[in-house]
Structure 1
């Protein structure tokens, strides 16, 4: 019964996160298409609008999904190696979205004769993209290259996890700075301080991003919602009740991912599992 309650709590939390993500995407689309100039790639303000759209859809929503993809019970039937590729793939797409969004900003600024990299938002935003790239490269080198020593993987995993969560939270914070900056500079009559409909609408977008980020971080940090070790999954799949993912959640808090990796590697000798 306790395991089923944990499963229900997970599903409710995940559903709330999905709703927040969907609403955030709808809100940012509404913002750029209705309140702003739409979308284009011609150096006009419409080109700049790719920046918030791609960052919300890619750098926030896709990155959030990449963070929790290991914890989705429906993915546990997949091998750990498959999930590593999915995790890396989602992060890579999010990185591409972020790079394209930066190109749109620089292109618009150059066409409009606006200085680049003068605000705190731009400093922190570019730093986040660079660190995200480094995180992606190191993650691939450590966990997708089969010749990387197991000891290196285990030693780097706490840094990898902490850095991922820190970058995710930082990106949301930078996004909030960016949308506030855009409203302050972009609204003149009425001004931002007068709370016109666009200001209220985009403020709600910011709240959605914060709630989404909080839910993702909650899912990612609950020990009882971890992916079970490969040994536990093998036991569960061999049991006649293994078709129900709820009971599997009760196994999570008692498993150490480092031990799971060692057991799997000795059993398969293919380096298909690692600490999560």
Structure 2
């Protein structure tokens, strides 16, 4: 079986992806150097502390992203990966699954509670078109509830209910996606209406650019779109799901940081770590932990749902549609 799997691997895609990684990696480093040199004064050391700081983003990106990614790629051996997955699957203790899933639910509810506390006590609460500034507050709440908490639970349906019939799980998964998409649309309307009322430009920040990518990927997985295509390419569907969720977490963290900087940097309140700054930072840390746990459970081979005999009938029906 290992030989047959290995024969099916198309290394042309590996070559294309690896080349793209190298080109994009070098481009990122070049853009960083250009930005830090032309707009931030260049590089120096202890004699010029402001310029010394410029080494930080460059070295972190080169070391923790570019070099780390290359080291990880070189460590992957396709011929050994199958054996490794089998051994890992045998050693998995499902007690950890229960612990991780419980932690996800607790942290998810805590994130929502922290967001509501922050938006109510420090940002004036919630309203709609009559109060554009308060209407904006729906945006972070609905995006986190939909694109992070609900989306994660939608991903985990097949892990939590591993013994249920797949037809039921597909319905639950589709309903979760529909609800996520509904909250996503309302959250977008809230921010666009608030920006239009206050004459604030749209789609200028890195946070908003990431949001565009999330919307693009989400449209691919929206229930009912290209059903036959998604049934035939289930691995791509799963990969896109993880990409969307990862981008959603990253976008939420950037949004929190952007809001903190715009709201608190005027009087150096963010640097002083007041109660609002601490609340924002703690919420961001919990979002990061939540995302890591959800991705771990979803990507862990031993937690995957084992196929049932009826699954073959569903697959046949999907192909003939």
Q: TM-score, normalised by structure 1?
A: 0.76
Corresponding residue for 1:186?
263
Q: Does 1:106 align with 2:106?
A: no
Count of residue pairs brought into register by the alignment? 229
User: Which has the bigger relative contact order, CA under 8 A and spacing at least 6?
Assistant: 1
| 1:44-95 residue CA offsets vs partner (Å, 9 max, x unmatched) | 211100001001111110000011111113x633x21121111111011111
Q: Does 1:141 align with 2:226?
A: yes
Corresponding residue for 1:65?
153
Provide the alpha-carbon RMSD of the alignment: 2.4
Corresponding residue for 1:175?
252
Cα shift at 1:140: 4.9
Q: 1:271 to 1:157 in 2, by over 3 A?
A: closer
Alignment of 1:29-108 (within 5 A): 29-41=116-128, 42-73=130-161, 76-77=163-164, 79-108=165-194
* Gap runs ≥5 in structure 1: 143-147, 232-259
Q: 1:158 to 1:3 in 2, by over 3 A?
A: closer
| 1:142-169 residue CA offsets vs partner (Å, 9 max, x unmatched) | 2xxxxx38xx734x11111111101100
Cα shift at 1:265: 5.0
Question: Matched residues in 2 for 1:192 and 1:37: separation?
Answer: 18
Cα shift at 1:190: 4.2
Q: TM-score, normalised by structure 2?
A: 0.66
CA contact (8 A) 1:58 1:98 kept: yes
Question: Matched residues in 2 for 1:135 and 1:5: separation?
Answer: 30
Corresponding residue for 1:126?
212
Corresponding residue for 1:227?
305
CA contact (8 A) 2:246 2:291 kept: yes
Task: Name which one, 1 or 2, has greater alpha-carbon Rg.
Answer: 2
Query: Which secondary structure does the structure 1 equivalent of 2:126 belong to?
Result: coil
Q: 1:87 to 1:265 in 2, by over 3 A?
A: closer
Question: Matched residues in 1 for 2:279 and 2:149: separation?
Answer: 19
Cα shift at 1:134: 2.2
Cα shift at 1:130: 2.7
Question: Matched residues in 2 for 1:162 and 1:4: separation?
Answer: 25
Question: Matched residues in 2 for 1:265 and 1:58: separation?
Answer: 28
Corresponding residue for 2:108?
21
Q: Does 1:212 align with 2:212?
A: no
Corresponding residue for 1:145?
none
Query: Which secondary structure does the structure 1 equivalent of 2:271 belong to?
Result: helix
